[in-house]
Amino acid sequence: MDKEEIYKKLVEICGEDDVSIDDADLIATGDWIAKGLEALYDHISFKAGFLVTPKNKEEIIEIVKFANTHKIPIIPRAANTSLAGQVLPLKENTILMDFGKHMNKILEINLEEEYVVVEPGVEFWYLQEVLAKDGYFFPAEPGSAFSCMIGGMVGNNASGASSFRFGTTRDYVKGLEVVMADGSVIHTGHKKNEKSVAGYDLTSLFVGSEGTLGIFTEIYLRIKPLPKNEVSLIVAYKNLDNAYKAIEIIRQLDVDLALLEYVDQMTIEGMNANFKYRLKKGILTKKIKVPKRDGTLLIRLIGPQFKEALRKVQEALSNPEIFSTDLPKIQVLEEPLEQKHLWDARHYAGPGIARNMDPPKIPRMFIPAVLDIAVPPSKIIEFLKKAKAISQEFGILPITMGHIFDGNVHLISAQNVTEENLAKIKEYQEKILDIVYSLGGTITAEHGVGLWKQHFLEKEYGKETMEIMKKIKRALDPNNILNPDKMGVGEIPSIVHFKEIGDKK
**What is the maximal distance between C-alpha atoms in the chain?**
76
Averaged over 378-391, what is the pLDDT?
94
Count of all residues that appear for the chain in the document: 505
Residue 172 has pLDDT above 80, yes or no: yes
pLDDT-based confidence at residue 233 (cuts at 50, 70, 90): very high
Quick: pLDDT tens for 92-120. 999 999 999 999 999 999 999 999 999 99
Quick: pLDDT tens for 442-477. 999 999 999 999 999 999 999 999 999 999 999 999
Quick: pLDDT tens for 130-146. 999 999 999 999 988 88
Residue 354 has pLDDT above 90, yes or no: no
- Could you give the CA distance from residue 464 to residue 443 in angstroms, rounded to a whole number? 18
pTM here?
Answer: 0.94
Percent of the chain with pLDDT over 90: 85
Quick: pLDDT tens for 35-59. 889 888 888 999 999 999 999 999 9
Q: pLDDT at position 217, please?
A: 98
Distances (CA, A) of 192 to 117, 155, 263, 337, 426: 11, 22, 40, 36, 48
Q: pLDDT at position 43, please?
A: 86
**Contact at 8 Å (CB) between 152 and 75?**
no
Distances (CA, A) of 29 to 26, 81, 384: 9, 8, 31
Sequence-ordered list of residues with C-beta below 8 angstroms from that of 443, at least 6 positions apart, any chain: 369, 373, 433, 436, 449, 453, 456, 457, 460
pLDDT-based confidence at residue 7 (cuts at 50, 70, 90): very high
Averaged over 323-332, what is the pLDDT?
94
- Could you give the CA distance from residue 424 to residue 295 in angstroms, rounded to a whole number? 29
Nearest Cα neighbor of 80 from 59, 51, 54 is: 51
- Could you give the CA distance from residue 169 to residue 160 in angstroms, rounded to a whole number? 10
Distances (CA, A) of 496 to 262, 435, 485: 30, 20, 11
Averaged over 205-222, what is the pLDDT?
98
pLDDT-based confidence at residue 267 (cuts at 50, 70, 90): very high
Which domains occur in the chain, in start order?
106-225 (3.30.465.10), 230-355 (3.30.70.2190)
Distances (CA, A) of 81 to 86, 87, 252: 10, 9, 36
